[in-house]
Structure 1
Amino acid sequence: MEQQHLANAGQESHSPAPGEDFSNEKPSFMKRYAYAIKAFTIFVLVNLLLIPTNQIMNLIQEREQRSDEATVEISNKWGGTQTFTGPIIIVPYIDTPNHRAYALFLPDQLSINGELLPETRHRGIYTTAVYSSHLQISGNFAAINSDIPADRFLVNEAVIAVGVDDLRGISNQPELQLNGQSHIFSPGVMIRSVFHNGMQTRIPLTKTDSGWSAGSFTINLDLRGSGVLYFSPVGKTTEVNIKSNWANPQFDGAFLPVKSSVLPTGFTAAWQVSHLNRNFPQALTTQNEVNLRTADFGIKLFLPVDGYQQSTRAVKYAILIIGLSFLVFYFIELLQRFSVHPLQYILIGFALCIFYTLLIALAEQLNFNTAYLIASIMTIGLVTAYTTSIFNNFRIGGGIGGVLLILYGFIYVIIQSEDQALLMGSLGLFIILAIVMYFSRKIRWKELKGHE
């Protein structure tokens, strides 16, 4: 009996009391560091989601290439970018026995007055700016003097030549009026090293006491082209005056206008260039290195919305959108003691990536601002609804939607502000970091570890 009593007493002393746990098992590594592992997993997911954003970049480049191909196709039928150079006098001379060279004489005064009539042409969904122009070219040549002996010149073969990049854009029969006499231009020039493309006409030179004289000239030229119209300042004094009904010009090249006016109804621009402003003289020969295009200037027809360029800038901020969205989800997990499955993170990340494909597709059909608004609303609505269903909480879903609204609005402002983009982006990131640090201080990490 005594032994049985001792045995029963031993059993009673080792039996656990209700609520007591004498297990010596320690929590596993995964349980102890669950939130740290989750943070690392989210970091990996953010970087993996950069792969589809890079693919989206490639998609933008592909669509932009197709747009360029459409532009080239239209230009091939209408007329490409145009540069008008000239007129200049070209006189052959005998340089050495049985060898010809050419002397070039540039005008003393050159005045170009023109009207630019742009329009947009479409090839499928792509738009290209083309133009027609009416140019009135006038001026005069000073008496021709040269160090080359007069008897070497082949004066009877003298021509006046002008350079036009794409002869398909000439839409009239241009004539040279020289001292009141009409001369018809023929395609092609005798010096391809000076003009890749152009036209010329034979002219008479009159012998005077001070040299040969060509006199004053006028040319009326109707020229079509695409995107760009440039001029070469070959005159000792060159004046160019252009007016147009295009409201978005870009003045480009070696010189800006001395005065210009850009209104919603169109623009006017005036250039004045002296021979001292360029790096070639008024008289030269083909024995020199001839390049009359080093001082070109003119107009680019700027299309108001370049959706591909702005879409590219938007994609560059994809890591900011995805990273901050995931960070907000992670903090909500910590504060709500609720675990979001990695697959749900992936689905949300894909939704944020699809925003950019929506943006590109809509921007090709609409203007960029409208496309950005629609794509943002669709993406924010989808993520908000999905978040509400995950947490079963309208307040959390609305909070996520508000965060995305602020982020997309912030990115839009940066895209539109090219000059202040770096400043605004840096300040915005600083503010975001401050907000994250503020909310992270409320998380009791030790309590979380104990809870685990």
Structure 2
Amino acid sequence: MNKETSPIDRINSWLKNSISLKLIIITILMLLLLIPASMIKSIIYERESLSNQTVIEVSNKWAGSQQIKGPILSIPLIYENNDEGKSHETTKYLHILPEELNINGNISPEKLKRGIYEVVVYKSKLAVNGQFLLNKEIDRNNLKEIKYDQAFLTIGISDLRGIEDQVILNWEKTDLKVEPGSRISDLIYSGITVKLPNIETNKSKTIDFSFTLNLQGSQNLNFIPLGSTTNIKIESNWPFPSFNGNFLPDHRKVTDKGFNAEWKVLQLNRNFPQSWIGSKHAEKISQSNFGIDLILPLDDYKKSVRSSKYAVMCIALTFLIFFLVEIINRRKIHPFQYILVGLGLCLFYILLISISEHSNFNTAYIISSIAIVGMVSLYSLTIFKSKKLSFLLLSTLTSIYGFLFVTLQLADYALLMGSIGLTLILAATMYFTRNINWYQINVDSK
């Protein structure tokens, strides 16, 4: 006597045998697994934020990024104005830039560690020399006096904590001591000042100057091209420089042992004159900076974020393999088993970021991928009941993570590699499923 099937039994049979329903369920599971994948990204961003905070804290104790601006020679001008019959005096400054500015420097970087984080700091030795020419045009309308005896020189240093030794300015073969602070804060907010001897007798000739600056800082060193001709030569044993700002080096050489770079900037290359009166051109001067960033190569957090963007691809391809095994070899795989495999794939990124914080990224990637690929492949032995199919899954997962590893190393070609890889994967899927009669699957499975 045949028993009538209950509605629940019919529903269970439909759930087990409907390929369309199974595809819908797998798609929903993939979308749900994007939730833990996005949570993993937030964890990576949080760890990166902690690393950036550490950089800021260490820089605040050592010295921050440095910008050298100057020297600028300033001469007080006294103007007398009449206002409703009353005369009053106004002091303005004539600012003169060097005719020639030469900087030869050496940067000695080092890595400081705080906990598990690394910060790039440096010590530099800069030899600065050049020439001033004082015969500049002056607005003499209502001019009462030019105070050559109160002229001063200002050298801009963005973080004064980085000055290691006393600075001595050689001015026309005379050594002059410097004072802290800037008198022209509208042009140079942070710096040092040098009182000059009476320069009136030298106003028609060229004046030579030179000084040495031993300076420490963090991450980058920038310059402002204030000379009518500015020549800068920098060398270092740091193999990962990044040249920034408005001017790239005219000559540079970067090797595994370090780099050297040379800049030559003319007055015609910038948008401010050699001399002016008042606080004009401050913004234009600041915008003309250029220099060097001492960067760490593509850091582990950025690589981890980039790898997490491929989470959908890894989950989709793995689910595709399980689904094809299910329909071709008649192996029923429960949605819960799909979930376990998907969570295992998401766990890869947690392992990657946690291990990379204590070793290099490549080592962390190898350890994490071996752990996850091994775990999923061993779990598939129980599901597939076939060593051949499990080996196929092992080979596929190894290829996926190997392809991802190569893509992460080739930062400039990541998009190209990714698009080629996805095209090949789609082509392979079309090839292996070309003979499947999708309409016949549900009939055969009953």
Structure 1 residue 103 displacement after superposition: 2.0
Is 2:121 aligned against 1:130?
yes
User: Which residue is 1:6 aligned to?
Assistant: none
In 2 relative to 1, CA 24–110 (structure 1 residues): closer, same or farther, beyond 3 Å? closer
Q: TM-score, normalised to structure 2's length?
A: 0.92
Stretch of structure 1 that moved more, 376-385 or 292-301: 292-301
Structure 1 residue 25 displacement after superposition: 10
Is 2:273 aligned against 1:246?
no
Tell me if the contact between 1:305 and 1:368 (Cα under 8 Å) persists in the aligned partners: no
1:360 to 335, 353, 373: 353
Deviation string 1:41-82 (CA, Å, 9 cap, x unpaired) is 110111111111111111111111111111111111111000
Structure whose alpha-carbon radius of gyration is higher: 1
User: Which residue is 1:43 aligned to?
Assistant: 27
Structure 1 residue 208 displacement after superposition: 5.1
Q: How does 1:173-322 map to 2 (within 5 A)?
A: 173-207=166-200, 211=203, 215-291=207-283, 292-322=285-315
1:142 to 122, 133, 146: 133
In 2 relative to 1, CA 258–190 (structure 1 residues): closer, same or farther, beyond 3 Å? same
Q: How does 1:148-159 map to 2 (within 5 A)?
A: 148-149=139-140, 151-159=144-152
Specify every segment of 5 or more residues in structure 1 that has no aligned partner in the other structure, as ranges.
Answer: 1-15
Structure 1 residue 252 displacement after superposition: 1.5
In 2 relative to 1, CA 71–287 (structure 1 residues): closer, same or farther, beyond 3 Å? closer
Structure 1 residue 443 displacement after superposition: 2.2
Structure 1 residue 29 displacement after superposition: 6.5
User: Which residue is 2:156 aligned to?
Assistant: 163
User: Which residue is 1:88 aligned to?
Assistant: 72
Structure 1 residue 152 displacement after superposition: 3.6
Deviation string 1:183-213 (CA, Å, 9 cap, x unpaired) is 111111111111121111111243359x465
Between the aligned partners of 1:232 and 1:22, the Cα distance in structure 2 is 92
Between the aligned partners of 2:145 and 2:322, the Cα distance in structure 1 is 87
Deviation string 1:273-326 (CA, Å, 9 cap, x unpaired) is 101111111112324242322121111112134001111110111111111111
User: Which residue is 2:84 aligned to?
Assistant: none
Between the aligned partners of 2:67 and 2:220, the Cα distance in structure 1 is 8
User: Which residue is 2:441 aligned to?
Assistant: 448
Tell me if the contact between 1:206 and 1:212 (Cα under 8 Å) persists in the aligned partners: no
Between the aligned partners of 1:22 and 1:311, the Cα distance in structure 2 is 57
Structure 1 residue 148 displacement after superposition: 2.2
Between the aligned partners of 2:170 and 2:200, the Cα distance in structure 1 is 19
Is 2:108 aligned against 1:117?
yes
User: Which residue is 2:426 aligned to?
Assistant: 433
User: Which residue is 1:325 aligned to?
Assistant: 318
Tell me if the contact between 1:91 and 1:154 (Cα under 8 Å) persists in the aligned partners: yes
Structure 1 residue 155 displacement after superposition: 2.4
Structure 1 residue 409 displacement after superposition: 1.3
Tell me if the contact between 2:95 and 2:276 (Cα under 8 Å) persists in the aligned partners: yes
Stretch of structure 1 that moved more, 215-224 or 52-61: 52-61
Between the aligned partners of 2:181 and 2:205, the Cα distance in structure 1 is 24
Tell me if the contact between 2:100 and 2:132 (Cα under 8 Å) persists in the aligned partners: yes
Amino acid across the alignment from 2:121: V
Structure 1 residue 447 displacement after superposition: 3.2
Amino acid across the alignment from 1:147: I
Tell me if the contact between 1:311 and 1:359 (Cα under 8 Å) persists in the aligned partners: yes
Structure 1 residue 101 displacement after superposition: 2.5
Structure 1 residue 421 displacement after superposition: 1.7
Partner SS, residue 259 of structure 2: strand
How well do the aligned residues superpose, as a CA RMSD in angstroms?
A: 2.1
| Aligned residue pair count | 432
Deviation string 1:194-240 (CA, Å, 9 cap, x unpaired) is 1121111111243359x465711001110000000111110000001
Partner SS, residue 280 of structure 1: coil
Structure 1 residue 363 displacement after superposition: 1.4
Amino acid across the alignment from 2:317: L
Between the aligned partners of 1:104 and 1:334, the Cα distance in structure 2 is 82
Stretch of structure 1 that moved more, 390-399 or 130-139: 390-399
Deviation string 1:406-441 (CA, Å, 9 cap, x unpaired) is 111111222222222222211111111111111222
Structure 1 residue 146 displacement after superposition: 2.3
Between the aligned partners of 2:247 and 2:186, the Cα distance in structure 1 is 24
Structure 1 residue 445 displacement after superposition: 2.4
Between the aligned partners of 2:294 and 2:232, the Cα distance in structure 1 is 17
